[in-house]
Structure 1
């Protein structure tokens, strides 16, 4: 045990110590009851060379500027050659200040133009679906990463949990296969949701390169269908709702998420079932970077105000993992160590055994 204690002191918890200790208790209990959910955002994958959202859209536009020709089949497609003005349209789109999600809509509309088959609506749709994720397959699946081992994922996968991600890359499942050696269930998009998910599951909330293009969330219209559905397209929301409702008391930990997108928080609220959730203790934690570069006079009030806002308005407890992104892998290592220690203490604690036997 002394060796474990020495190990855990390698990384010091600088901020949010009370919230951190409470989170360790929550994670330990949630892991043992299949209620632990890690919500993985883009910040986790950036160290391996993957883009943030803005970079993704820019690279998508650049890719299709020079790959429209790949969509043409002179025997069947309406377009027989790439029009120069269409390349210029994409060039201009790159510089335009419109919403990034709307830019994706316009790129997809250009792809539809070059996959259209005269007089064949079904064939046109099929050809579009076969090609619309060409860039994503190349960039997020086929292109080798800069760094093979993601230290954040390497540590987190020691815990039994459901891993929900908005990322298009396949690094969570890759790390499961390379390092964790666990039996896992992979949902490439929300069309594949089924009941009774395994304890170790990877769910691509926004889809993946090998998933169903209809469930790939990147454009303004696809975001609307997922996060603000009307009566005609509630299937995606129902599928996500099932993931949350299958857990008795979900505990969700956001990692690598800026928490600036209200869509993510809105879908978690929409996934609630009012009657069922009255008997649940759903809790949310967000691991965020402490801004230690602010003016000393406002640094603490700023963070305190933000914490209070997130807790009061969003229902999320903020835990500051450090003041540099490089602190996050070390924080995750410490977190996993402390949860493991807590697990060992619970196993060796007679009072805990008595409570388990008595169903408490």
Structure 2
């Protein structure tokens, strides 16, 4: 291992300072232009919100991996034909979450088969177990955008990839009319904000837990079925909105293959149309400097701040590379350093 205390300087030397500064300037300029475009879309009621898991997680709902890790003990109870106490449920969930390398979506099919008719009920119970709507500033910001205005500005509709009814509950408290759309042939009324649950809907009252007409895109076969069916109502709805409106992705990394495919198809039809996604940057402060030193063969005596300075330059370029990778899909990135910035961005769109 190298013990050269100046070795970390090589990190910075890999990046031309002018290039980094140019990107930072571009990023700041682009940020304001993107916000201005979103304001114009809002003012003409051309704005559609696409909501990912991060929105629900902000209110206390489990992440995808957490949800599956909590379903595994439920599956074991059925297969072992014995009741597992809460302590061991938590232990099994923690172990599974940390050590399982199986594709989550492929495992769910096995869990679903084991739980049978109770699968949706168990998912529903876990979704809402730790929800606290009052703590979610993101949902509060979204609800403010969704409030009807006298001048016919505002949000045209919402597309959500989440099963929950958290947004609906927040809108209900604010007396905002909405319609939850979760299957074909459902149509909102003129005054209602359409909320399209394109992966299915499990409201907190459990009323749809046994609705056989509703598709819940939670297993591998269900995901593939939706992905491969160009006439699926959810695909048609998303593609129509992506072609005709200005869309803002919130709480989503936009890595889902079906979402990216639909973005690609829409952008091929109209190269001038761009959409936006709020995505958190890679930050040097979140990297373990000891691991970086070990990886690069640096002396442990190299100051952490020196390592972070080099990392900052590299991560700026990584962010730029990722930003450029989204552009062929017609997607522009609004970078944030913290998820706490999302409500502020949403309020800035209100003007």
TM-score for both structures, normalised by structure 2: 0.68
Does the Cα contact within 8 Å between 2:263 and 2:330 map onto a contact in 1?
Answer: no
Matches within 5 A, 1:227-242: 227-229=227-229, 234-236=230-232, 238-242=233-237
Which of 137, 142, 147 in structure 2 is aligned with 1:151? 137
The answer to whether structure 1 residue 320 and structure 2 residue 335 are counterparts is yes
- Aligned equivalent of 1:310: 326
Matches within 5 A, 1:322-341: 323-333=337-347, 335-336=348-349, 339-340=350-351
Q: Are the structure 2 counterparts of residues 195 and 173 from structure 1 closer, same or farther at C-alpha, using a change threshold of 3 Å?
A: closer
Q: Are the structure 2 counterparts of residues 144 and 14 from structure 1 closer, same or farther at C-alpha, using a change threshold of 3 Å?
A: farther
Q: Are the structure 2 counterparts of residues 265 and 243 from structure 1 closer, same or farther at C-alpha, using a change threshold of 3 Å?
A: closer
Q: Are the structure 2 counterparts of residues 84 and 153 from structure 1 closer, same or farther at C-alpha, using a change threshold of 3 Å?
A: closer
State the distance in 1 between where 2:55 and 2:165 align: 12
Which of 38, 42, 57 in structure 1 is aligned with 2:49? 38
Aligned-residue offset at 1:197? 7.0
State the distance in 2 between where 1:249 and 1:226 align: 22
Matches within 5 A, 1:1-360: 16-66=27-77, 68=78, 84=81, 94=96, 97-112=101-116, 128=117, 131-141=118-128, 143=129, 145-159=131-145, 160-161=154-155, 162-179=157-174, 181-187=175-181, 189-194=182-187, 200-210=193-203, 211=208, 212=211, 214-229=214-229, 234-236=230-232, 238-242=233-237, 244-245=239-240, 249-269=244-264, 272=266, 277-278=269-270, 282-293=273-284, 295-311=311-327, 313-321=328-336, 323-333=337-347, 335-336=348-349, 339-340=350-351
Q: Are the structure 2 counterparts of residues 96 and 153 from structure 1 closer, same or farther at C-alpha, using a change threshold of 3 Å?
A: closer
Deviations 1:310-335 (A, max 9, x none): 11x322101112x12233233333x2
State the distance in 2 between where 1:224 and 1:286 align: 25
Secondary structure of the structure 1 residue equivalent to 2:252: coil
Unaligned runs of 5+ in 2: 1-23, 146-153, 285-307
Whose relative contact order is higher, 1 or 2, with alpha carbons under 8 Å and at least 6 apart? 2
Q: Are the structure 2 counterparts of residues 96 and 139 from structure 1 closer, same or farther at C-alpha, using a change threshold of 3 Å?
A: closer
Deviations 1:76-125 (A, max 9, x none): xxxxxx6559x9xx98995653211111111122234xxxxxxxxxxxxx
Aligned-residue offset at 1:165? 1.0
Does the Cα contact within 8 Å between 1:164 and 1:204 map onto a contact in 2?
Answer: yes
State the distance in 2 between where 1:327 and 1:222 align: 34
Q: Are the structure 2 counterparts of residues 299 and 197 from structure 1 closer, same or farther at C-alpha, using a change threshold of 3 Å?
A: farther
State the distance in 1 between where 2:57 and 2:237 align: 30
Secondary structure of the structure 2 residue equivalent to 1:208: coil
Does the Cα contact within 8 Å between 2:178 and 2:195 map onto a contact in 1?
Answer: yes
State the distance in 1 between where 2:26 and 2:52 align: 22
Count of matched residue pairs: 278
Q: Are the structure 2 counterparts of residues 158 and 195 from structure 1 closer, same or farther at C-alpha, using a change threshold of 3 Å?
A: closer
TM-score for both structures, normalised by structure 1: 0.66
